[in-house]
Amino acid sequence: MTVEEDKALGRPDYWDSRYAKSDGDDPTHEWFRSFADLEPFFHKNLFETQGVKAEDAPLILHLGSGDSVIPVELESRGYKQQLCVDFSPTVVSLMTERHAEFNGIQWKLADVRNMVDIADKSINVAFDKGTLDAMIYGSPWSPPDEVKDNTSRYMKDCAYPARITVEKQAAACQGYLLTS
């Protein structure tokens, strides 16, 4: 891919035009790893971790959820409280319609660089697969200013989920799971 193509991955219009090609029923693309690939990771970090097991009813935040099947797979394993955010209006509508029967999963339009609507201490686990990657392009040794700005805004709002301050994080959030 060229730098211009890499740059486009950080813009909602690029993702909107991808998701507009969906047939409505099937995922357009599961990025990087399938649920089956990640099952051991989820076992270790969710299913067998005190405080975030299904019976603990944690609220899981999916950062840039796209049309991934991960939230639905987790729902079928007992995770009934999930918030999926994405900055593509097309995919938010698509997923809201596709999975209308799942009352416990909400798809919401939001930018992970500015999570203004999420209350402090409301999130137990934040999960990202492929979204932080989407805002990175150019040299890793000397990243463009736009990349530094986007990633630091993301880190401020998401790696400390729900805008929890560093001091509060340990007490308020069990985990930030990043995979790509």
Ligand X SMILES: C[S@@+](CC[C@H](N)C(=O)[O-])C[C@H]1O[C@@H](n2cnc3c(N)ncnc32)[C@H](O)[C@@H]1O
For residue 80, the SS3 value is coil
Q: Does 124 bind ligand X (CB under 6 A)?
A: no
Q: Does 73 bind ligand X (CB under 6 A)?
A: no
Residue 146 near residue 139 (C-beta atoms within 8 A): no
Check residue 44 and report its DSSP letter: I
Q: Does 130 bind ligand X (CB under 6 A)?
A: yes
Q: Does 111 bind ligand X (CB under 6 A)?
A: yes
Closest separation in Å from C-beta 27 to ligand X: 7
Nearer to ligand X, 58 or 154 (CB): 154
Residue 46 near residue 174 (C-beta atoms within 8 A): no
Restricting to residues 144-173, name those near ligand X by CB under 6 A.
none
Nearer to ligand X, 10 or 143 (CB): 10
Q: Does 175 bind ligand X (CB under 6 A)?
A: no
- 153 exposure class (CB count in 10 Å sphere: 0-12, 13-18, 19+): middle
Q: Tokens in use for 41? A: 């990771």
Calpha distance 38→177 (Å, rounded): 11
Q: Does 112 bind ligand X (CB under 6 A)?
A: yes
Binding site for ligand X (CB under 6 A): 10, 15, 30-31, 64-66, 68, 86-88, 91, 111-113, 129-131, 134-135
